[in-house]
């Protein structure tokens, strides 16, 4: 039996994707003893009015988020990628032959 299947009344985060091509959005949390129970609770709570393309439940303790204190460490590599910043781009103007 998996670790997830042995959790007693664990908290599960719920993500819904309303249509194909869209991103999943976090819509809330449910409690359940296993993933099937959590999925049933999520369906009852978060899909009453709509018919989503997909519904995910993820154990809360499986989610790792960066805290504000970790921002320099987590996002520091963005400074090493100059293509992310428009410093070296030349603006296009009408009449200069670039249109």
- Please list the pLDDT of the chain residue by residue as tens digits (99 residues): 445 544 568 999 999 999 998 999 999 999 999 999 999 999 999 998 888 899 999 999 999 887 878 777 776 666 666 666 666 666 676 665 555
Any residues with CB less than 8 A from the CB of 79 and at least 6 apart, and which? none
CA contacts within 13 A on the Cβ side of 25: 11
Closest CA to 42 of 54, 30, 51: 30
Any residues with CB less than 8 A from the CB of 53 and at least 6 apart, and which? 17, 18, 19, 20, 22
| 71 Ramachandran zone, left/alpha/beta (phi>0; psi -120 to 50) | alpha
* Helix (H/G/I), strand (E/B), else coil: 45: helix
Distance of CA 22 to CAs 3, 16, 29, 47, Å?
31, 10, 20, 16
Output the pTM of the full model: 0.64
Which domains are assigned to the chain? 4-85 (3.10.20.520)
């Amino acid at each position: 039996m998996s670790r997830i299947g042995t959790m007693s009344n664990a908290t599960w985060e719920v993500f819904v994707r309303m249509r194909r091509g869209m991103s999943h959005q976090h819509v809330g949390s449910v409690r359940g003893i296993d993933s099937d129970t959590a999925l049933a609770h999520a369906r009852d709570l978060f899909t009453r009015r709509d018919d989503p393309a997909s519904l995910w439940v993820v154990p809360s303790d499986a989610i790792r988020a960066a805290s504000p204190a970790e921002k320099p460490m987590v996002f520091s590599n963005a400074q090493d990628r100059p293509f992310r910043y428009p410093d070296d781009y030349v603006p296009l103007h009408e009449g200069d032959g670039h249109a």
